[in-house]
Structure 1
Amino acid sequence: MDAYIGLDVGTQGMKGVVVDDAGSVLDTAYAPYPTQSPAPGWQEQNPQDWLMAYDEVLQRLMAKHLPVVYRGIGFTGQMHTTVACNANGVPVRPAILWSDTRAAGYGEALEQRYGLDTLVRQTANKPLANFSVLRLLWMKDHEPQHYRTIQRVAVAKDWVRDQVTGTFMADVTDGSGTYLFDVGRRQWNWEWMQTLSIPREWWADAVESPTVVGDLRRGPEALQSIPVVAGAGDQEASAVGTGLTNEGDLGVSIGTSGVIFWPRAGFSLPPHPSIHAFCHAVPGMWHWMAVTQSAALSLRWYRDAFAPTLSYRDLDELAASSPAGSRGLLFFPYLQGERAPLMNAQAQGTLMGLRPEHQAADIVRAILEGVVFSLFHAWLMMKPAQKKSLERMVATGGGAQSTLWMQILADVFQIPVTVVDDPGAAVGAAWLARRAVGGDVKELSRRVRKVVEPSQNQGIYAERFHAYRSMAMNLNGLWGKERV
């Protein structure tokens, strides 16, 4: 039986999976590694820890002696995490993680110097602190001794893959996250690099995700010389794993943060600067993505602060005892500021409409509803580009385990919600390896756990969302310049 390996260089550790030719997971392994925070807002990792985790994960996978023939390996990992290296690929300093905020001021400086419209035309995106080039500009000013020695720059998964194949390559999805990429043409934006005085020689050729870029040179004997595939960023690899590869699909993930992922058959600039436009892992496809900062985090905050003895199932049952609309309560899940669509780091979590008759059930339900309202608010920034009806919504993340949350999602978006098993980015990476060796990336079978149809509460939620959106605009004005 043929099999493929997917490796995910995650934020907290390396995950490896073995999948068969049909996409079923045969085995998994995991190895953690530490993160350092040497200053407030800084998040760093030692790339050598990734390599040690790589060795450990492959050893564990091979220890099972599965009766399979390994045909390929695909990589994925944390996007934006920046590894600056010398000519031999040795990091000149620790890797700067995607979550690191030290370069936030550089995005603001770029906007002031060039204007947001110009930046979006160059890169298809608003400059955020996690884009790779902002970290490099920070290094140029604050660590010139390291900046002068840079000869190569890579993201996490590309650096590991380069180390184990000896081939310096990049892919179009992670290229999109550097802020130096022409997303529409799926190639580096050399002119923009020149404008920013960033050497083009630092960057590897960017290829499509299901492309063989070398063969394995480091690892167990059973895997030596098998094809290694470029792979994709974790968001795009996860989309492959859950089947989000058609323009009629809309993906919604309710994890710590909330993510809307919309595959696009052609490239166009997003209609709102809070929307990201990246290359998809599927050749010839792009995607728009919106992120809300505090999705399931909002529910965790409530539980930890007010109901630490209750499980999430208990909270779900409690919320179900409150009617749709939470008896007039509105929750604005801006506990960590908000990205889409407010773009306001100063936004604050708000519970509005409290009266003496409100109970805990109403508050919990308002939190669930507020998270969905925030996602729908972000979707409305994309919706003007919609040319045909969505065929389905695919829901993943921890929040998808809540039937009530999924019902609210179906009612607010007014579309059936398909809840699927979330195999993770590593499975998507393995499937990209299968696609490169032979086959179609769209063939990955998905296990559907349930389909939730819209209920009679659609009208109630349409009215409540109108109130939510109006109040969000007013509140955003209190926190700073109104940008909705």
Structure 2
Amino acid sequence: MARERLFLGVDLGTSGIRVATVDETGRRRTIVTRIWPCGQSWNPAAWLHHALQLITLISRGRPSAEIAAIAVDGTSGTVFLCHPSHGRPLTPVLAYDDGRARAEAEALAAAGLATGPASGPYGGPAKLLWLIRHYAQTRAVLTAQGPWLTGMLTRCHRVLDEHNALKLGFSGQWAEGLARAPTSAYLPSVVPAGTPLGPLRRDLARRLGLRVAPLIVAGTTDSTAAFLALGPLPRGSGVSSLGSTLVLKIESPQPVLVPESGIYSHRLADTWLVGGASNSGGAVLAHYFDRAALLRLSAELPLVSDTGLHYYPLLKPGERFPMNDPTLAPRLAPRPSDDRLFLQGLLEGLSAIEARGYALLTAHGAPRLQRVVTTGGGACNAAWRTIRERVLGVPVSTITDRPAALGVAHLARSGWMAQH
């Protein structure tokens, strides 16, 4: 009797890690989740440790199945330098919302060096310059969260998928601001998402108890994986991921690139995912309210009218989309004495950012928004959905059972099928 063949996806998020499998028909088989221990969100050793533990858990839980392929997604724009041979991190991890490379971004702009959709202090070019200046390394390669873990599974650290590469300065080719000394020496090769890279390292296959080493497939970003998890959608369907940050995407027949507004496009077969990622999102809500308070207060919101507070919810200065402004200050005052009004003001502010984002995408050539599909932790909040429908002016639906890990598992399946 033939063994069941499974395809596994690893989703590295800001709050935790999730691993999922699908079978050859694309049907969901397994999902396991683990929250990052305190302080481990940006620790590469923790990413590898917990990924291997969860893969082992799935493998032992389905001993009659064969894991045929694995792909990984992670947060885009989260970068660092690693050793090109064994992958050891050589610098701190600069997270997606880390704006410390402001001077480097200004220097690139002043020199007239184009960095494409990765412009500004949150982009890869400025971050790479910052890393080089503060952590001089003679042998190092630029990497990102998902590609680093992929490299640890294959010992192939000089390869980056094109979706993660976009935020690092690659759009068909490396941006002018990178493709010259000294930064050119740190640049990896770029391949399409879903490209077969080779088998899992033999030592890891033995450690995981796998009789056959799975194929490792080039992965993608977390928000693209979340889109893939949803399957085909009608034209004009926006997908809002309400996680720690707010990420918007809409499928388009042509790319839209507006770096000054934080708009980018990921190629996906013969179409494009146009979108942007705000620094605002659920992390702001979690800063002010624990889960129990958020659930209780959300159920008590009046919702009959806007609060008029006009918040711009950020935890620290700096925004990526719908405006690319590293100096934008949070706007969270005045704070009402009633926590219900404060929460409603935050939700209204988040909804306004979402509406402004979709309007901006349409203004620059993306399809007109007809409906919004919501994923992520914030999708379950009924009060937020009510506010969003009012502000967006289109129907808003919720899908909570198709996490990004399923999307990247489908990508692993596609890569395996392309090779077989």
Equivalent in the alignment of 2:349: 370
Relative to structure 1, the CA distance from residue 232 to residue 360 in structure 2 (aligned partners, 3 Å threshold; closer, same or farther) is: closer
The alignment's TM-score, normalised by the length of structure 1, stands at 0.74
Displacement of 1:23:
3.4
Kindly provide the amino acid, as one letter, of the partner of residue 110 in structure 1.
L
Tell me which of 218, 229, 233 is aligned to 1:241.
229
SS of the equivalent of 1:194 reads: coil
2:113 matches 1:110 = no
Q: For structure 1, which runs of at least 5 residues remain unmatched after alignment? A: 37-42, 440-484
Distance 2:101 2:75 in 1: 18
RMSD over aligned CA atoms reads: 3.2
2:190 matches 1:203 = no
Q: Note the 1:226-237 alignment, pairs <5 A.
A: 226-237=214-225
Q: Is contact 1:410–1:417 with CA below 8 Å preserved after alignment?
A: yes
Kindly provide the amino acid, as one letter, of the partner of residue 222 in structure 2.
D
Displacement of 1:159:
2.6
2:306 matches 1:325 = yes
Equivalent in the alignment of 1:469: none
Q: Is contact 1:293–1:337 with CA below 8 Å preserved after alignment?
A: no
Give a deviation string over 1:289-328, Cα, whole Å, max 9, x none.
Answer: 3333333344445546xxx9x6323212221x341223x5
Distance 2:283 2:22 in 1: 31
Equivalent in the alignment of 1:159: 148
Displacement of 1:244:
7.2
Q: Is contact 2:153–2:216 with CA below 8 Å preserved after alignment?
A: no
Equivalent in the alignment of 1:277: 264
Give a deviation string over 1:326-381, Cα, whole Å, max 9, x none.
Answer: 3x554342453352335253423244697xxx965444333322221122123322
Q: Note the 1:56-95 alignment, pairs <5 A.
A: 56-91=53-88, 93-95=90-92
Give a deviation string over 1:133-186, Cα, whole Å, max 9, x none.
Answer: 333312332233xx2232x3322322332232244422110111212x12xx3x
Q: Which runs of 4+ in 1 moved over 6 A?
A: none
Q: Is contact 1:126–1:274 with CA below 8 Å preserved after alignment?
A: no
Give a deviation string over 1:184-218, Cα, whole Å, max 9, x none.
Answer: x3xx3275433453225x43432221221111222
Displacement of 1:409:
1.2
2:256 matches 1:256 = no
Q: Is contact 1:395–1:418 with CA below 8 Å preserved after alignment?
A: yes
Distance 1:419 1:81 in 2: 28
Equivalent in the alignment of 1:222: 210
Kindly provide the amino acid, as one letter, of the partner of residue 149 in structure 1.
R
Q: Is contact 1:335–1:347 with CA below 8 Å preserved after alignment?
A: no
Tell me which of 165, 168, 180 is aligned to 1:178.
168
2:273 matches 1:287 = yes
Equivalent in the alignment of 1:135: 127
Relative to structure 1, the CA distance from residue 206 to residue 245 in structure 2 (aligned partners, 3 Å threshold; closer, same or farther) is: farther
Q: Note the 1:467-478 alignment, pairs <5 A.
A: none
Distance 1:163 1:297 in 2: 29
Q: Is contact 1:341–1:378 with CA below 8 Å preserved after alignment?
A: yes
Q: Is contact 1:5–1:430 with CA below 8 Å preserved after alignment?
A: yes
Relative to structure 1, the CA distance from residue 294 to residue 9 in structure 2 (aligned partners, 3 Å threshold; closer, same or farther) is: closer
Distance 1:245 1:113 in 2: 43
Q: Is contact 1:410–1:416 with CA below 8 Å preserved after alignment?
A: yes
More relative contact order, 1 or 2 (CA 8 Å, 6+ apart): 2
Equivalent in the alignment of 1:212: 196
Give a deviation string over 1:107-141, Cα, whole Å, max 9, x none.
Answer: 12222222xxx63xx42343233x33333312332
Q: Is contact 1:318–1:364 with CA below 8 Å preserved after alignment?
A: no
Tell me which of 116, 121, 133 is aligned to 1:123.
116
Give a deviation string over 1:204-248, Cα, whole Å, max 9, x none.
Answer: 432221221111222234353322211112221122113477762
Q: Note the 1:433-452 alignment, pairs <5 A.
A: 433-438=412-417
Relative to structure 1, the CA distance from residue 5 to residue 341 in structure 2 (aligned partners, 3 Å threshold; closer, same or farther) is: closer
Equivalent in the alignment of 1:466: none
Q: Is contact 2:79–2:144 with CA below 8 Å preserved after alignment?
A: yes
Q: Note the 1:336-375 alignment, pairs <5 A.
A: 336-339=316-319, 340-342=321-323, 343=325, 345-351=327-333, 361-375=340-354
Distance 1:222 1:105 in 2: 48
Relative to structure 1, the CA distance from residue 127 to residue 382 in structure 2 (aligned partners, 3 Å threshold; closer, same or farther) is: same
Q: Is contact 1:211–1:230 with CA below 8 Å preserved after alignment?
A: yes
2:411 matches 1:432 = yes
Q: Is contact 1:246–1:264 with CA below 8 Å preserved after alignment?
A: no
Displacement of 1:13:
5.1
Distance 1:243 1:366 in 2: 33
Q: Is contact 1:29–1:61 with CA below 8 Å preserved after alignment?
A: no
Q: Is contact 1:242–1:422 with CA below 8 Å preserved after alignment?
A: no
Relative to structure 1, the CA distance from residue 415 to residue 84 in structure 2 (aligned partners, 3 Å threshold; closer, same or farther) is: same
Q: For structure 2, which runs of at least 5 residues remain unmatched after alignment? A: none
The alignment's TM-score, normalised by the length of structure 2, stands at 0.84
Distance 1:89 1:154 in 2: 13
Kindly provide the amino acid, as one letter, of the partner of residue 211 in structure 1.
T
